[in-house]
Each structure stands twice: as structure tokens, then as C-alpha cells.
């Protein structure tokens, strides 16, 4: 039997070869991984460098604007004491910077107190998102590009909160002109088809109003980019499929650039010998395994399959098969095939001798059963002669009962020598013939008593068939003698049934007058009890629902299983 945990020869050999070659492949992959990581870092450095060089002037201008806002927020009272002087001072400061278009100072409610473009008393930043953010989160704060409330031009606000006596007192808003800031970006440093955008806590935007391939990015991604101390690269996010985003934080990590490039950032494997470091070793590893697989199949497994078919033919009894095809096999396989052929020839000789011995033994057994049957018939004839000379009475009746019992034994031996298997008796036809004989030898013809046999397909060895036949003879004979004394018609039913794996029941029932007083004390009852004990059971006598008598024996029978085991062990030894 093939165990489930065993593996085929081909799989085992291929596995050994794969294990032997795996270190070489692993070293190549490790080398490739190291080179790939180096190339990835180079690509990241190129993207970061391109972004830094392109926005170098812009970053300086934004840091300058941030410094202006911080300086004003540090001394707001010096500007707010004189409203007209404050407007002029803020205008002169804005004029000195190429990207600052306006500077405004608000109070704690958001109302503009002074501005470089003049104070608009009707304007208040109190309801604007950037003002609420700076009140809640502090600053400095960078906003998206939006239309200026005072300049009416696209601007980006840099807001600084300031406090008086420890309380929020207002904010300084630096308006960075988007068009002027965009002129500071040197696009010559950017990769082809790349787009430079900017990001803050609100999202990603451009200075020139270019359309981006996405509406927004996840807040978690923006927070991660702002918190990063160095450049981070995001490959093909869900919001921008087919794009690579390179985030570079600028200006105190509250504002930064994002470089959008098409495709993965390092999918080209520039400068990396993919074929030389991974593909060729992997192909060699695969080719070696395939070659071994084919070689094992051609030189080993094909011939093992052929020899397995030959062995199965030998196992089915065809020992005359000659494995000639093995002459073309390798020398070891040919030698094994020759050994199998010699073994088959030897088994053929042994089988012929065994068949001859079995035939001889079968003939002897048949002759023995035939002679035993004939001898029993001689005894029956002698009993008939002796009974014919006696007058009617107990002696004559005793001889007839002995004759019935001997006839039952003779019937068992006749069934054996007429059957193909001398070790088993087929009980259904045997019981029918036995009851037919008992009926003929009784008063059934005069009384019109019907005899029925109900039996499953069951076979017993002679050691069980003999006491069972004698029990049925005695029980049926008692039924014929005592069950129908007061009438001329009736039925006797003999049943043999399998109750379980090794449990059986033989029963004889009638629909006669029932159990009489003193039943079970006669010679027939004594013999039935003896036969029941011989079968390993107990005699049970009971009244049927129809008012008759039922006599049965329940017994265990496992002799057939033992015989089958003995036959298998004998076959294995030969």
C-alpha cells in the first residue's frame, strides 16, 4: 500500500537537485536585490535633486517671506499704533520682495487693521478657513493658491499668529503672488513629462493653475509627507494610478513640493544588469531541474512503470509473460527484469505443483465424503431391515428416528462432495432438501402439513452444518409428531437468519397446538439442547402469536473469517 506521506522518486531527486542549486540562485537574487536597492536610492536622489534644484529660488523667497511675517508678528504693536504709518510701512516692505504682493495685520476677530494695499474696514478674515485654522492650530500656516481678497490676484497666504498678554490677538498674513513665485521655478531641472506641484495640510495644488490628475490625496498621506524629515516616494497611489509622487518638505515642514512623474520611479532598472544577475542563473537553475526531470522519466521511471505492469500481470496469474522490452533498458533495470522473469518461472512451477496437489486432495476429500455417505446409507438400510422385522412399538419407532438422524448426516456429506467448495455447505438448498426428506419420512403426507424454508445466502463449515442439520431434524420431527395431533393441516416454517456480523439464528416454528405439558423432557429435547450447545448457543422454546411452538438457537459463527485468514496466510507463505 502506498503511504500518503511518501513522495515519488522523481520528486525526491528533483528536490535534492533544487536544494543543491538553490544557494547559487539565492546569492544571485541577493546580489540583484542589493543592486536594485542601490539603483532605487539613486533614482530617489535624482528625483529629490531635480525637485530641489527646480525650487531652490522659490524656497529662498518663501523662507524670506516667512521671516518677514515672523518679524512683524514679533512686534505687532509697533505697527498698529499708527494706522496710516502701518499701511505705508507694510507697503514698503512688500515692495522690497519680488514675490510678496501684500502684507496685512488682523485683530483677534479677523478684521484687517492695516495692509500694504490699504485698509478695507468692511473686510474681515474672521470667517475664512485659514484664519480659523491659525486660531485653532497656531502657525505659521501656508494656504492653497486662491484669489486674493484685497489684491484680487492668485495668491498663496503665509499667516503668522501673534499674542498680546498671552492671548491670541490677531494674525500677520503675507500674500505671495503665485505668478511671481512660479517664475522662480526652473523647469529645466525637472524630468520629462513631470509636473511640479506643492502641498500643505489641505492638499496638493499648483502655482500656475495646471490641472492635476487627481482631485485630492488622503489626509494620512499628506500628514506623513509633512512629518517626514526627508524625501518620500509613493508609487501609483489609488488617487493617482500610473503616477509616482515624490514628496519633499520645505519651509519648516509646513509646506513642500510634490513631483508627479508618469509610471514607477525606478521601473526601468537603469544601470542594473537584470539578465546577468537574476534571469540567467534562474534560467540555468530551471533548465537543470527540467533536464533531470526528463532524464529520470526516460531512464528510470519509464522502466519502473513497465516493470510495475509486468509485476501486476504476474500478480494476476499471468506468469508466462516475458519482459523482453527491458533488453533496451539500462543494465540495472534489465537485471531487475531478468530477476522478475526467473521468479515468475519459479512461481509457475510451484503453482503447477500446488494445483496438482489441490486436485489430488479435492479428489480424495470427495471420495471420503462419498464413502462416508455410502456407509451411512448402508447403516440406514440395515436399520430399515431391522425395523421391518419388528412389530409396531417403541423399538420400531426408535429405529426410524435413528434412521432420520443418520440420513441427516448422510445428506451433509452428499452436499459436500457434490459442491464445488468442499469446505462450505450452502444452507438454503441443504435445508430444503433436509426438510423434504424429514417430511417424506413423517406423517406429513397423511396430515397435509406444509413445510417452508426461509434462509439467507449463508454458508457454514461442516463442523457447524452437522449439529445444525441434526437440530433441524429433531425439531421438525417433534413438530410433525406433536404439533398437529388434533388436526390434519398445518405449517412448519424453518428460518435461518443473520442477526449481526457473526450472529445467526436457526429456528423451527409451527402453527400447531402449542407447548404441551412436560415439553422439553423427552429424548428429542435433550438432543436439541446438546446440538445447541455444540453450536455454542442455547435452546429457546416459546409460543408463537398463532398459538404454535417455536424452537430456536442463537449462536456465533466466525469460522468462515478464520478460514479466510488461514487461506491468505497460506497463500502468502507460498
- Structurally, the chain folds into a number of domains equal to 2
- Please give the average per-residue pLDDT across 368-387, as a whole number: 77
- Please give the average per-residue pLDDT across 54-66, as a whole number: 83
Q: Is residue 540 assigned to a domain?
A: yes
Q: Is residue 412 assigned to a domain?
A: no
Q: Is residue 286 assigned to a domain?
A: no
Q: How far apart are CA 84 and CA 99, in angstroms?
A: 23
Q: Is residue 332 assigned to a domain?
A: no
Q: Is residue 311 assigned to a domain?
A: no
Residue 569 has pLDDT above 60, yes or no: no
Specify the range with the lowest mean pLDDT, choosing from 203-207, 443-447, 543-547: 443-447
CATH number at residue 92: 3.30.450.20
Place 269 in a pLDDT band, splitting at 50, 70 and 90. very low
More confident residue, 435 or 414: 435
Residue 344 has pLDDT above 80, yes or no: yes
For 440-475, the DSSP string reads HHTTHHHHTEEEEEEE-S-EE-HHHHHHHHHHHHHH
Over its C-alpha atoms, the chain yields an Rg (Å, rounded) of 56
Q: Is residue 478 assigned to a domain?
A: yes
| Domain closes at, from 184, 215, 247 | 184
Threshold 0.85, pTM exceeds: no
Q: How far apart are CA 370 and CA 368, in angstroms?
A: 5
First-to-last alpha carbon distance for the chain, in angstroms, is 20
CATH number at residue 498: 3.30.565.10
Nearest residue to 296 (alpha-carbon basis) of 6, 21, 10: 10
What's the distance, CA 465 to chain centroid? 53
| Domain closes at, from 125, 150, 184 | 184
Q: Residue 551: which domain range?
A: 423-574
Query: For helices 523-534 and 462-478, what crossing angle results, to 10°?
Result: 160
For 355-396, the DSSP string reads HHHHHHHHHHHHHHHHHHHHHHHHHHHHHHHHHHTSPSSHHH
What is the model's pLDDT at position 551?
92
What is the model's pLDDT at position 413?
67
Residue 320 has pLDDT above 50, yes or no: yes
Place 263 in a pLDDT band, splitting at 50, 70 and 90. low
Residue 505 has pLDDT above 90, yes or no: yes
Residue 391 has pLDDT above 60, yes or no: yes
Residue 162 has pLDDT above 80, yes or no: yes
Q: Is residue 318 assigned to a domain?
A: no
What is the model's pLDDT at position 326?
80
pLDDT tens per residue, range 289-299: 888 888 888 88
| Domain closes at, from 184, 204, 234 | 184
Q: Is residue 444 assigned to a domain?
A: yes
More confident residue, 55 or 467: 467
Q: How far apart are CA 466 and CA 413, in angstroms?
A: 9
Amino acid at each position: 500500500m502506498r503511504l500518503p506521506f511518501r513522495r515519488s522518486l522523481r520528486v525526491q531527486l528533483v528536490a535534492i537537485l533544487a536544494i543543491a542549486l538553490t544557494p547559487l540562485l539565492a546569492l544571485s537574487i541577493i546580489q540583484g536585490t542589493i543592486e536594485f536597492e542601490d539603483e532605487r536610492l539613486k533614482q530617489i536622489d535624482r528625483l529629490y535633486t531635480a525637485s530641489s534644484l527646480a525650487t531652490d529660488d522659490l524656497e529662498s523667497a518663501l523662507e524670506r517671506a516667512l521671516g518677514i511675517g515672523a518679524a512683524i508678528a514679533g512686534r505687532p504693536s509697533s505697527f498698529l499704533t499708527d494706522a496710516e504709518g502701518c499701511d505705508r510701512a507694510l507697503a514698503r516692505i512688500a515692495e522690497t520682495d519680488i514675490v510678496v504682493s501684500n502684507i496685512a495685520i488682523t485683530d483677534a476677530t479677523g478684521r484687517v487693521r492695516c495692509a500694504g494695499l490699504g485698509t478695507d474696514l468692511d473686510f474681515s478674515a474672521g470667517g475664512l478657513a485659514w484664519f480659523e485654522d491659525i486660531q485653532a492650530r497656531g502657525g505659521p500656516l501656508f494656504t492653497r493658491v486662491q484669489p486674493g481678497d484685497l489684491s484680487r490676484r492668485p495668491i498663496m497666504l503665509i499667516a503668522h499668529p501673534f499674542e498680546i498678554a498671552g492671548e491670541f490677538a490677531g494674525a500677520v498674513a503675507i500674500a505671495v503672488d503665485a505668478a511671481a513665485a512660479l517664475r522662480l521655478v526652473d523647469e529645466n531641472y525637472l524630468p520629462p513629462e513631470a509636473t511640479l506641484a506643492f502641498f500643505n495640510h489641505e492638499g496638493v495644488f499648483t502655482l500656475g493653475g495646471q490641472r492635476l490628475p487627481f482631485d485630492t490625496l488622503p489626509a494620512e498621506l499628506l500628514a506623513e509627507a509633512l512629518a517626514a524629515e526627508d524625501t518620500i516616494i509613493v508609487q501609483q497611489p489609488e488617487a493617482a494610478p500610473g503616477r509616482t509622487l515624490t514628496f519633499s518638505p520645505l519651509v519648516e515642514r509646513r509646506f513642500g513640493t510634490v513631483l508627479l512623474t508618469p509610471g514607477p520611479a525606478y521601473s526601468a532598472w537603469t544601470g542594473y544588469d537584470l539578465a546577468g544577475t537574476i534571469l540567467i542563473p534562474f534560467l540555468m537553475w530551471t533548465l537543470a531541474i527540467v533536464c533531470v526531470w526528463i532524464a529520470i522519466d526516460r531512464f528510470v521511471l519509464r522502466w519502473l512503470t513497465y516493470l510495475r505492469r509486468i509485476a501486476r500481470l504476474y500478480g494476476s496469474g499471468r506468469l508466462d509473460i516475458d519482459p523482453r522490452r527491458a533488453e533496451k533498458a539500462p543494465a540495472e533495470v534489465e537485471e531487475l527484469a531478468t530477476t522478475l522473469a526467473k521468479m515468475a518461472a519459479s512461481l509457475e512451477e510451484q503453482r503447477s505443483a500446488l494445483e496438482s496437489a489441490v486436485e489430488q486432495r479435492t479428489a480424495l476429500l470427495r471420495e471420503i465424503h462419498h464413502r462416508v455417505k455410502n456407509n451411512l446409507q448402508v447403516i440406514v438400510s440395515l436399520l430399515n431391515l431391522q425395523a421391518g422385522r419388528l412389530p409396531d412399538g417403541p423399538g420400531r419407532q426408535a429405529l426410524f428416528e435413528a434412521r432420520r438422524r443418520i440420513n441427516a448426516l448422510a445428506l451433509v456429506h452428499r452436499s459436500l462432495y457434490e459442491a464445488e467448495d468442499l469446505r462450505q455447505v450452502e444452507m438454503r438448498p441443504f435445508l430444503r432438501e433436509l426438510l423434504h426428506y424429514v417430511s417424506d419420512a413423517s406423517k406429513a403426507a397423511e396430515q397435509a402439513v406444509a413445510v417452508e424454508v426461509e434462509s439467507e445466502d449463508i454458508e457454514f463449515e461442516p463442523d457447524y452444518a452437522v449439529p445444525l442439520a441434526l437440530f433441524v431434524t429433531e425439531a421438525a420431527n417433534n413438530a410433525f409428531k406433536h404439533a398437529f395431533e388434533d388436526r390434519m393441516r398445518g405449517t412448519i416454517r424453518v428460518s435461518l437468519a443473520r442477526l449481526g456480523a457473526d450472529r445467526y439464528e436457526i429456528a423451527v416454528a409451527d402453527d400447531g397446538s402449542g407447548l404441551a405439558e412436560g415439553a422439553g423432557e423427552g429424548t428429542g429435547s435433550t438432543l436439541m439442547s446438546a446440538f445447541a450447545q455444540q453450536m455454542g448457543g442455547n435452546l429457546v422454546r416459546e409460543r408463537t402469536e398463532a398459538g404454535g411452538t417455536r424452537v430456536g438457537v442463537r449462536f456465533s459463527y466466525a469460522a468462515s473469517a478464520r478460514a479466510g485468514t488461514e487461506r491468505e496466510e497460506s497463500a502468502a507463505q507460498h
